[in-house]
């Protein structure tokens, strides 16, 4: 066989392979993401959810129009994410971008704005500079609406906020965080629309826990994800088995041993609990009338149980320089009232752990009369993670002692606020030992299954403050108005209480790993602004002339080569 025959066979093989690839390419499907952070990939959970969706999904994105560079980048990332969703969607999936500012006149545009705001899509003003350096203000709606049409024809629409706004971070950082959380925010709403499982969460009652009106705002948020029940324990060991999680929100009286036993066996069988427990009891009536009261230990009979699980709530009060403000009358007696803001050190604004899924990118959490936590025990079966911490300027007040309004006059000195980063909330994950190990079941308990002394792998969260879940209520009776959880009306500021608690419950009930999407990171790679602005003209000239110069060099080489070839 000569060389020519070998070439013929090779050409034939290549031709057959090419034809075969073209024929079977329709049946082949693969995608490659060569970026370091896998920014163009979506999780297996998201792929499966999209493939298994029975109905049609349509998305309307209002992030469009005359946007600055940062929002254009967010728009591009949103489009790329939706393109990826479209690839894996099993049913009908569609999306479109709408410019909310596109209108024939100002009146029509304002009407469009009002309609969007009525649906909960809040506008944000964006301040920028034009090409000449003049300040400009534009209205942006960083929102999307997802509509799910079931096979029965029923349609449900939910909004999605695409923009993160974390206090203390720059606009560029917040836009980058928004890109990182796109998949989580979009799939979070999609799951609410597509997933029809009835997951239940219980609020424990019967021990002086917060009444429903004081946890109303959070239960309203939680009800979008779960079915919510309130109730007392009725002596059966399987009483709580139907619930994905149980919330113990601020007990003020001692839990009887039989209730502790039911909770313990619930945990031993893999149940999850969110503990919100005050270690110190404060009389707010005495504090408001007499300007002082006595802080005493809040005896709720949970110390031994939590200690066995690996954590101790210390009976102390934490004061912190990073705190909320309260209005105080600074006028002399007999003068007209003169209210001015003063630091309320008993209301620390807690720092969230930036490295854990639950607390990552959550704004500070507002608390009141919070205590500290310690990890106890040396078991290797439990992973313990701090979630909330005080600032680097904290004072620890032992109990019993006087709690007085005079604390506002304390100077912010390192001598007084001399402790840093006290832990106030923690996550415990692993296998827990029963507090009733080697003990008889309490009298009156109806045992429905053999008692367990070691738990299945499970998790719980302990927060040393019950006020973290309490919303303020203005007015009385029919005129009562519930304020948003974490909203400080004196500072006119929204804190991260609701986001933190929702993440806590979602993490506790998440057996599929959806919450890990919150850990996604996309590095922000920006140009050096000082260098790029200073050398702006140089780069403009270079970008215009360099391609022309290279083209000219290529043409000259080509002509020279051609001339030499055909001259002889």
- Comparing 225-234, 265-274, 440-449, the range with the smallest average pLDDT is 440-449
Range in 111-120, 281-290, 418-427, 458-467 the model is least confident about: 281-290
The confidence band for 433, taking pLDDT boundaries of 50, 70 and 90, is very high
SS3 content of the chain, % helix, strand, coil (to 5): 35, 25, 40
280-281 vs 401-404, strand pairing mode? unpaired
Cα–Cα distances in Å, from 443 out to 305, 439, 468?
A: 18, 12, 34
DSSP state of 442: P
pLDDT over threshold 90, residue 47: no
pLDDT band at 26 (very low <50, low <70, confident <90, very high): low
Task: Please compute the mean of the pLDDT values over residues 91-103 and round it to a whole number.
Answer: 89
Lowest mean pLDDT among 29-43, 198-212, 334-348, 527-541: 29-43
Give dist(CA 219, CA 13) in Å, integer.
Answer: 67
Q: What is the pLDDT of residue 67?
A: 86
Please say whether the beta carbons of 352 and 500 come within 8 A: yes
Percent of the chain with pLDDT over 90: 48
pLDDT in tens, 366-405: 999 999 999 998 778 899 999 999 999 999 999 999 999 8
User: Over pLDDT 70: what percentage of the chain?
Assistant: 91
Q: What value does the mean pLDDT of the chain take?
A: 87
Other Cβ atoms closer than 10 A to 121? 19
pLDDT score of 449 more than 90: no
The pLDDT score that the predictor gives to residue 151 is 77
What is the arithmetic mean of pLDDT over 13-42?
A: 68
The answer to which of 41-50, 260-269, 491-500 has the lowest mean pLDDT is: 41-50
Whole-number Å distance between alpha carbons of 1 and 241: 78
Among residues 185, 147, 192, 189, which one has the least CA distance to residue 163? 185
- Asked which of 6-10, 242-246, 445-449, 491-495 is least confident by mean pLDDT, the reply is 6-10
> Residue 242 has what pLDDT?
93
Terminal Cα distance for the chain, rounded: 38
State the average pLDDT over residues 102-115: 90
* DSSP annotation string for 444-513: T-B--S---SBPPSEEEEEES-SGGGPPPEESSGGG-EEPPTTEETTTTEE-SHHHHHHHHHHHHH-SS-
* Whether the predicted pLDDT of 6 surpasses 90: no
Closest CA to 437 of 316, 568, 268: 268
Dihedral sign computed on CA atoms, order 497, 502, 503, 505: positive
In this prediction, residue 529 has a pLDDT band, given cuts at 50, 70 and 90, of low
Residue 193 or 505, more confident: 505
322 — pLDDT class (breaks 50, 70, 90): very high
Lowest-pLDDT choice from 95-109, 401-415, 449-463, 509-523: 509-523
Q: Identify the weakest region by mean pLDDT among 417-431, 441-455, 492-506.
A: 441-455
pLDDT winner (highest mean) among 121-135, 171-185, 491-505, 551-565: 491-505
Of the listed ranges 29-38, 189-198, 205-214, 231-240, the one predicted with least confidence? 29-38
Q: Mean pLDDT over residues 186-213, rounded?
A: 90
Range among 179-183, 270-274, 526-530 with highest mean pLDDT value:
270-274
- Does residue 14 have a pLDDT over 70? yes
Model pLDDT, residue 259: 94
**pLDDT at 61 exceeding the cut of 80:** yes
Q: Say which range, 16-20, 42-46, 362-366, 395-399, has the weakest mean pLDDT.
A: 16-20
- pLDDT value at residue 524: 60
pLDDT in tens, 214-258: 999 999 999 989 999 999 998 888 889 999 999 999 999 999 999
The separation between CA 505 and the C-alpha centre of its own chain, rounded to angstroms, equals 11
Where is mean pLDDT largest: 11-20, 48-57, 389-398, 539-548?
389-398
Comparing 365 with 530, which gets the higher pLDDT?
365
To 10 degrees, the CA torsion angle through 9, 10, 16, 18?
-170
Task: Label residue 568 by pLDDT band (50, 70, 90).
Answer: low
Return the beta strands (E) in 81-216 as ranges. 93-97, 124-129, 135-140, 143-149, 155-161, 200-204
Contact residues for 42 (Cβ-Cβ < 8 A; gap 6+): 81, 84, 85, 88, 183
Tell me which range, 9-23, 69-83, 261-275, 443-457, is most confidently predicted by mean pLDDT.
261-275
Compute, in degrees rounded to 10, the torsion defined by CA atoms 447, 272, 203, 299. 80
Q: Please report how many Cα atoms fall inside a 13 Å half-sphere around the Cα of residue 485, on the Cβ side.
A: 23
pLDDT-derived band at 130 (thresholds 50, 70, 90) equals low
User: What tens digit of pLDDT does each residue of 145-174 get?
Assistant: 999 988 777 888 999 999 988 777 777 888
Query: Which is higher by pLDDT, 491 or 258?
Result: 258
pTM for the structure as a whole? 0.83
231 vs 241: CA distance, rounded Å = 14
Residue ranges of the alpha helices (H) in 25-159? Answer: 44-52, 69-88, 106-118
């Amino acid at each position: 066989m000569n060389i020519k025959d070998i070439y013929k066979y090779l050409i034939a093989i290549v031709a057959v392979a090419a034809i075969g690839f073209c024929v079977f390419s329709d049946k082949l499907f693969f995608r490659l993401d060569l970026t370091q952070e896998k920014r163009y990939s979506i999780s297996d959970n998201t792929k499966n959810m999209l493939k298994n969706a029975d109905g049609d999904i349509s998305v309307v994105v209002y992030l469009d129009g005359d946007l600055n560079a940062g929002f254009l980048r967010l728009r591009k990332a949103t489009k790329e994410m939706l393109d990826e969703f479209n690839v894996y969607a099993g049913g009908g999936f569609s999306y479109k971008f709408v410019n909310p500012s596109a209108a024939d006149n100002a009146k029509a545009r304002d009407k469009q704005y009002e309609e969007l705001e009525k649906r909960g899509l809040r506008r944000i003003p964006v301040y920028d500079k034009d090409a000449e350096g003049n300040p400009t203000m534009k209205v942006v709606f960083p929102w999307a609406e997802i509509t799910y049409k079931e096979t029965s024809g029923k349609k449900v629409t939910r909004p999605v906020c695409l923009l993160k706004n974390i206090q203390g971070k720059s606009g560029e950082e917040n836009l980058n965080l928004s890109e990182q959380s796109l998949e989580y925010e979009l799939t979070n709403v999609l799951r609410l629309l597509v997933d029809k499982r009835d997951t239940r969460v219980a609020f424990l009652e019967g021990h002086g826990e917060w009444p429903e009106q004081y946890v109303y705002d959070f239960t309203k948020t939680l009800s979008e994800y779960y079915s919510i029940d309130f109730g007392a324990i009725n002596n059966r060991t399987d009483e709580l088995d139907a619930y994905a999680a149980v919330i113990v929100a601020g007990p003020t009286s001692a839990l009887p041993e039989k209730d502790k036993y039911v909770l313990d066996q619930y945990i031993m069988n893999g149940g999850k609990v969110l503990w919100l427990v005050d270690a110190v009891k404060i009389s707010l009536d005495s504090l408001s009338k007499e300007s002082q009261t006595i802080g005493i230990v809040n005896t709720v009979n949970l110390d031994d149980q939590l200690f066995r699980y690996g954590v101790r709530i210390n009976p102390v009060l934490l004061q912190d320089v990073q705190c909320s403000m309260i209005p105080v009358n600074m006028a002399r007696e007999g003068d007209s009232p003169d209210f001015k803001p003063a630091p309320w050190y008993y209301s620390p604004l807690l720092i969230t752990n930036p490295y854990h899924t639950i607390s990552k990118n959550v704004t500070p959490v507002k608390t009141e009369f919070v205590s500290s936590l310690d990890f106890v025990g040396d078991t290797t079966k439990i992973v313990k993670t701090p979630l909330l911490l005080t600032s680097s300027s904290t004072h620890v007040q032992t109990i019993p002692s006087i709690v007085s309004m005079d604390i506002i006059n304390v100077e912010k000195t390192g001598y007084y606020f001399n402790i840093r980063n006290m832990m106030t909330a923690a996550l415990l994950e692993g296998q827990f030992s029963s507090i009733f190990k080697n003990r008889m079941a309490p009298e009156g308990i109806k045992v429905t299954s053999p008692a367990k002394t070691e738990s299945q792998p499970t998790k719980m969260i302990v927060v040393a403050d019950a006020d973290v879940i309490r919303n303020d209520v203005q007015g009385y009776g029919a005129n009562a108005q519930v304020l948003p959880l974490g909203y400080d009306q004196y500072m006119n500021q929204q804190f991260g209480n609701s986001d933190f608690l929702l993440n806590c419950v979602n993490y506790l009930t998440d057996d599929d790993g959806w919450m890990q999407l919150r850990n996604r990171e996309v590095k922000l790679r920006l140009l050096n602004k000082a260098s790029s602005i200073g050398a702006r003209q140089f780069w403009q000239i270079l970008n215009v002339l360099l391609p022309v110069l290279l083209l000219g060099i290529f043409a000259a080489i080509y002509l020279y080569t051609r001339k030499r070839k055909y001259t002889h």
